[in-house]
């Protein structure tokens, strides 16, 4: 399998063609952006961590019977994925009110929602990824009704899986964003979970201290971005203990997790 030319470059990832039909390479960059590209920085090591964390999460989701685009991780920054035709939509799930929901509707930050709340946004940077209704999706043909029904079912299950996975390592899954696409399987198209699931696309709070372990550290200038992502990787059991251990230890002091003495 050879990596070919660049097909697409996004804010945090690059997609390259490959010599194999239907497969592409997803490369994770260290670039961090927020507020529709108004805030930008290079966060050294972020791409490597997101590659590992997303591989771990998508593999777990796949083991639960949900189809994803992931074929395998290739190296520190790259994954082999199925080339999906991406729906131009962002699927947001909220378990706790914060972020744009609190701002938009005045719901107190941290309010636990009785049921997971699903929101749909149009993936369009020029428009600032606006919130839309399902009716807009059908009216403008961004997805069909039966596709959204299937995606909602997949999203609901993914939320359950992720909540359990993170709760088990002392993290609250506050909210997250998913993307889906369609791939050909023999002669029929099927819906797969696409993109990534990482601290870039989720809000993750330490259960006890509510310390933020996600991209809000960048958005809100809280510092220690990489250390927070490393902490997520370490808790998920996918990060070697020796990496930047002193910085991770410093950061861990502010969370509920205790380091075991060797």
Binding site for ligand 5GP (CB under 6 A): 90, 92, 99-101, 129, 175-177, 200-203, 215
Nearest approach in angstroms of CB 224 to ligand 5GP is 17
CB-count exposure of residue 57 (10 Å: 0-12, 13-18, 19+): buried
Question: Which residue's CB is nearer to ligand 5GP, number 55 or number 200?
Answer: 200
What beta strand segments (E) does 78-153 contain?
78-82, 85-86, 89-96, 112-122, 131-132
Phi-psi region of 170 (alpha: psi -120 to 50; beta: other; left: phi over 0): left
Nearest approach in angstroms of CB 163 to ligand 5GP is 14
Question: Which residue's CB is nearer to ligand 5GP, number 18 or number 57?
Answer: 57
Question: Which residue's CB is nearer to ligand 5GP, number 177 or number 182?
Answer: 177
Question: Which residue's CB is nearer to ligand 5GP, number 18 or number 201?
Answer: 201
Confirm if 199 and 52 have CB atoms less than 8 A apart: no
Strands 131-132 and 171-185: unpaired
Nearest approach in angstroms of CB 177 to ligand 5GP is 4
CB-count exposure of residue 184 (10 Å: 0-12, 13-18, 19+): middle
Nearest approach in angstroms of CB 79 to ligand 5GP is 16
Question: Which residue's CB is nearer to ligand 5GP, number 89 or number 101?
Answer: 101
Which sign, positive or negative, has the C-alpha torsion 162, 167, 170, 175?
A: positive
Residue nearest to ligand 5GP (CB): 99
Residue 87 has phi, psi (to 5 degrees) of -65, 140
Question: Which residue's CB is nearer to ligand 5GP, number 83 or number 212?
Answer: 212
Rounded distance, CA 107 to CA 97, Å? Answer: 7
Question: Which residue's CB is nearer to ligand 5GP, number 18 or number 54?
Answer: 54
Nearest approach in angstroms of CB 249 to ligand 5GP is 27
Shortest CA distance to 107 belongs to which of 174, 34, 179, 198?
Answer: 174
Nearest approach in angstroms of CB 36 to ligand 5GP is 8
Rounded distance, CA 154 to CA 150, Å? Answer: 6
Token pair, residue 260, equals 């075991």
Nearest approach in angstroms of CB 35 to ligand 5GP is 9
Nearest approach in angstroms of CB 54 to ligand 5GP is 11
Helix (H, G, I), strand (E, B) or coil at 235: helix
Question: Which residue's CB is nearer to ligand 5GP, number 8 or number 259?
Answer: 8
């Amino acid at each position: 399998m050879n990596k070919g030319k660049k097909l697409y470059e996004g804010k945090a990832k690059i997609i390259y063609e490959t010599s194999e039909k239907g497969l592409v390479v997803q490369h994770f960059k260290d670039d961090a952006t927020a507020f529709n590209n108004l805030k930008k920085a290079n966060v050294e090591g972020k791409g490597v961590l997101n590659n590992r964390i997303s591989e771990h999460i998508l593999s777990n989701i796949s083991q639960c019977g949900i189809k994803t685009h992931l074929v395998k991780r290739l190296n520190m920054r790259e994954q082999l994925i199925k080339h999906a035709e991406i729906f131009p939509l962002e699927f947001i799930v909220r378990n706790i009110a914060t972020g744009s929901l609190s701002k938009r509707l005045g719901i107190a930050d941290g309010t636990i929602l009785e049921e997971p709340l699903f929101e749909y946004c149009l993936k369009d940077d020029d428009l600032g990824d606006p919130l839309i209704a399902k009716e807009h999706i059908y009216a403008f043909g961004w997805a069909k009704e039966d596709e959204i029904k299937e995606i909602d079912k997949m999203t609901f299950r993914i939320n359950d899986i992720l909540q359990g996975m993170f709760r088990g390592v002392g993290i609250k899954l506050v909210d997250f964003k998913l993307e889906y696409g369609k791939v050909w399987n023999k002669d029929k198209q099927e819906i797969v979970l696409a993109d990534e699931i990482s601290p870039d696309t989720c809000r993750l709070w330490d259960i006890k201290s509510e310390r933020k372990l996600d991209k809000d550290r960048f958005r809100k200038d809280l510092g220690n971005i990489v250390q927070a992502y490393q902490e997520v990787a370490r808790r998920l059991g996918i990060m070697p203990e020796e990496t930047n251990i002193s910085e991770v230890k410093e950061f861990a002091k502010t969370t509920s997790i205790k380091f075991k003495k060797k």
